[in-house]
Amino acid sequence: MISADKIIIALDISDSDKLGHMMKELSGQKVWVKIGMEVFYSMGPDVVFMAKDLGFKVFLDLKLHDIPNTVAQGLKSLCRLPIDMVNVHAAGGREMMEKSFEAIGNLPQRPLLIAVTQLTSTTEAQMHLDQNIQGTIEASVLNYSKIAKDSHFDGVVSSPLEVAAIKKLLGKDFLTVTPGIRPIGKEANDQKRITTPLEALALGTDYMVIGRPITQSANPKQALLDILEGK
């Protein structure tokens, strides 16, 4: 069995009626929901309150990436919402991450602050070509993760494949949030560095982000229950 509080369901549904129906169907399972750009930009802050009213913990996944002051002020604004986790892009650099923590680190009930390392849709070859970052993708993820921890972040977003190395370098308490989770038999879609839920747990991840295998299923609630049962 997989604990429900390790599952973050990616709600990439911009139609408000469909989204509301989906959340009501999945409510009561003690899972998190991830509200990303597609949903937040189309529906605004109301979607956060909707999710909280239904009992979900909320990961606001906007991947802030800009000059340090802009990101810091943006985080301050977002933290007026009842969110439980929020993220920035580690590629914004050390100063941006330090300013991010300074902006919200002393809030009485701040959300978990997470840095995105390398997207799970990125291959090592793409990283070399498009980002001009040489070496292995694991080395890049570890570099970003070390800067995030030095900046007092709670953890990072990575693929499950880098979790063991992150935990070894930075300790078991440094959180890992892992997209790229695909149950056996499900399509990878645009994800490249993937594992099954049980494989991700065995690698030591703290939170698994799962979207389309649940939300595009003919029976989303049953799809979630199957995952929780380790299927």
Catalytic site includes residue 63: yes
CA-based nearest residue to 70, from 98, 99, 109, 40: 99
Which amino acid appears at position 126 of this protein? Answer: Q
CA-based nearest residue to 56, from 19, 101, 93, 98: 19
How far apart are alpha carbons 138 and 20 in whole angstroms? 38
Radius of gyration of the chain (CA): 17
Tally the residues of the chain: 231
- CA dihedral (185, 138, 59, 104) in degrees, to 10, reads 180
* Candidates 57, 63, 167, 186; catalytic one: 63
The catalytic residue positions are 63
